[in-house]
Structure 1
Amino acid sequence: MASHRRSEPGSLDRNTKVGMLTAAAAAATAAAITVVPATAAPALPKEPSATVRAQVDRLFEEAERATERFNEAGERADRLRADVGRARDRLARAQDRINTMRGLLGAFAGAQYRSGGIDPAVELMLSEDPDDYLDKAATLGRLTDHQARQLDELRKEQRRLGQERSEAARKLVELEAVRADAAREKSVVTTKLAAARRLLNEMSAQDRADFERASRTGDRDGALPDPPADGSFGPASGRAAAAVRAARSAVGRPYIWGATGPSGFDCSGLMVWSYRQAGVSLPRTSQAQRYAGRRVPLSEARPGDLVTYRSDASHVGMYVGNGQVVHAPHPGARVRYDPVGMMPVASVTRP
């Protein structure tokens, strides 16, 4: 009879132990694999250049638009200041004429006063300072036709003087509003530029160099041939040629927003200064420069033509031939040559 040995309580046979040990080892190995952090491939360096450069370009573009609005406000303020000055001159002259008329009529009023009566209309006209008029009362005895005409002219002058005063006051209010506009645009420009500088400061030196190259030229290596050494950019009129020479002489000078040279320029300021050297007065803003002459197709551009960019004409350069413009690109850059097609062309204008 076969005998059966009972297993001791809590004991495991060998095969069971081996199986359980194998399962435990497998589980431990799996757990170890699960908790070990992944270090297979190093993280790729983040690629800020495209995004950051696009942000900086956008900020510079917005600052440039605000700069042109600031320039426009400044130009309007200059016109209004001139208008206010002329209005003040007219007021002074009108007041002198009224004072003279009052003096002549005052003499007549004095004579009438001594004779026992004074015309109510004359009294009304002269009521501000009757004593002064009564001192001149020795020469006239009665209101002649000539004096009646003087009285009528005095009334008209007083009405004109009131209108001049109202107009001068309106111009002063408008001037204050324009000054406030300019202050707001200045704040926009400085805010945008500060944000752009912060982004630029976060770039590596290589990224900044790439941005400078790509900011207007489309990131083309060796984008432009050198300009001709003899300055021969093709046919141009005498004044256009003089403006081109002036613009070329400004190459290398810094972009300074709101500036019209000679030490620095914004985009439209460079055009103003260059044509001023040729004896030609241009409007201050790129938007106004767009209409400061005859419009021509880009295919017919000549040296000295003004090339405006973007649909709102918020940037401008001067065509100098050889497929190039000279322009002040943006804050932080210097006046330089770039391809005429660096941005969408809005118009070409021949002053």
Structure 2
Amino acid sequence: MSISDVHKRLGVLNHEGEIASEQLNAVRVEMQAAQQRADTLQADVDHQRAEVEALRTRVVGNAVDSYQRSTSLSSVAAFFVADDAGQFLDDMATTNLVQSQQTGLLIKLSEQQKKLVGQEQQAQDALDALTADKVAAAKHEAELDQKIDDAQELLDGLKQAERQRLARRQAAEAEAAAAEAAVAQAAAAPRPSRSQTRVDVSDATVPDVPASGRAAIAVQTALAQVGDAYVYGAAGPDSFDCSGLTMYAWRAAGVSISHASSAQPGAGTQVSLSSLMPGDLVFYYSPISHVGMYIGNGQLVHAANPSRPVEIVPLYSMPVTMAVRIG
């Protein structure tokens, strides 16, 4: 296999790996929501069971009390033999009231038992959904592991000289993308290296971006990560995947969004590509499997793939699906 073929194959594996990684991210978000729902429903079930048990105790207690009050004499016979006819009538009224209350309790008990059955079914459905999410997570994780293994096996098959040629080719592509981005932005903001996982990048690739408010904080936070490593499932502070970077940047601005590119469109309002502003999130491929942050002048900052660090690239360097404005 030629270096060109290896390069293309690595690109395919990186993209497929990102798809699996973002699917795994999405399932993990769903699992968290499902767990919270299951916990809430179980708490409701526990409360309802206590309500039903309390009602059942009252019904049984009233039944015992009613039995103890009962007499073998008919109401008419008891009236004639009573020492105080007025008191007897008062007692009869009390008995009728107790019986009426007991009937009401029985009806309420029946209603609450039906409600409990419904809540128990909802809780079971939530647990079933959580189980399904766990199965899906295991599937996507296995797919991701396989892509990583395939990529590593491909690299392991190269000789040292071939690896060096491949590394030079990847570096050249990264430099070309950085140069293209720098042409669109004259201003530069030099910054020191921050971590051992960081890749040296030209200061010219880190522009000053005209933005305001929370978007400005998000943009500057994302730009501060340029050169950091791409790691599947990472969300900072020194390594990221694509949705982890955008989540990290907007969290710094006080806005919470999900760690999944397929879920992040729901965190904002869709905007046209012709009206993009710095801080807007741009989504790629169909179905969505990649996200980056628009920084103006036709540029995007994103966590690319395991072969590339966090970098600035042209907006249309990948097939765009949609964009949203956060906040």
Q: Under TM normalisation by the shorter chain, which class is it?
A: 0.7 to 0.9
CA distance in 1, matches of 2:189, 2:177: 23
Find the counterpart in structure 2 of residue 132 from structure 1. Answer: none
Report the Cα offset of residue 329 of structure 1: 0.6
Find the counterpart in structure 2 of residue 224 from structure 1. Answer: 181
Find the counterpart in structure 1 of residue 269 from structure 2. Answer: 294
Distance 1:87 1:291, change over 3 A: closer
Q: Does 1:211 pair with 2:166?
A: no
TM-score scaled to structure 1, two decimals?
0.73
1:282 counterpart (257, 260, 264): 257
Find the counterpart in structure 1 of residue 106 from structure 2. Answer: 151
Which of 1 and 2 has higher RCO (CA within 8 Å, sep 6+)? 2
Distance 1:291 1:81, change over 3 A: closer
Report the Cα offset of residue 275 of structure 1: 0.9
Gaps of 5+ in 1: 1-46, 118-139
1:114 counterpart (53, 65, 68): 68
3-state secondary structure, aligned to 2:240: coil
Deviations 1:37-79 (A, max 9, x none): xxxxxxxxxx722211110000111111111111111111111
The one-letter code sitting in structure 2 at the alignment partner of 1:93 is H
Report the Cα offset of residue 343 of structure 1: 1.3
Q: Does 1:241 pair with 2:255?
A: no
3-state secondary structure, aligned to 2:22: helix
3-state secondary structure, aligned to 2:282: strand
TM-score scaled to structure 2, two decimals?
0.78
Structure number with higher strand proportion? 2
Equivalences, count: 280
> Superposition RMSD on alpha carbons, in Å?
2.5
Deviations 1:136-179 (A, max 9, x none): xxxx9674323322221111111111111111112111211110
3-state secondary structure, aligned to 2:239: coil
2:281 counterpart (302, 306, 309): 306
Report the Cα offset of residue 332 of structure 1: 4.3
The one-letter code sitting in structure 2 at the alignment partner of 1:92 is D
Find the counterpart in structure 2 of residue 97 from structure 1. Answer: 51
Larger radius of gyration: 1
The one-letter code sitting in structure 2 at the alignment partner of 1:339 is P
The one-letter code sitting in structure 1 at the alignment partner of 2:256 is S
Find the counterpart in structure 1 of residue 229 from structure 2. Answer: 254
CA distance in 2, matches of 1:220, 1:81: 42
How many percent of aligned residue pairs carry the same amino acid?
31
Report the Cα offset of residue 284 of structure 1: 3.0
CA distance in 2, matches of 1:209, 1:312: 32
Distance 1:291 1:78, change over 3 A: closer
The one-letter code sitting in structure 1 at the alignment partner of 2:18 is E
Find the counterpart in structure 2 of residue 325 from structure 1. Answer: 300
Q: Does 1:190 pair with 2:145?
A: yes
Q: Does 1:179 pair with 2:137?
A: no
Gaps of 5+ in 2: 72-93, 191-206
3-state secondary structure, aligned to 2:236: coil
The one-letter code sitting in structure 1 at the alignment partner of 2:228 is R
CA distance in 2, matches of 1:147, 1:115: 14
- Matched-pair contact (CA < 8 Å) for 1:108–1:141: no
3-state secondary structure, aligned to 1:337: strand
The one-letter code sitting in structure 2 at the alignment partner of 1:187 is A
CA distance in 2, matches of 1:317, 1:193: 22
Find the counterpart in structure 2 of residue 64 from structure 1. Answer: 18
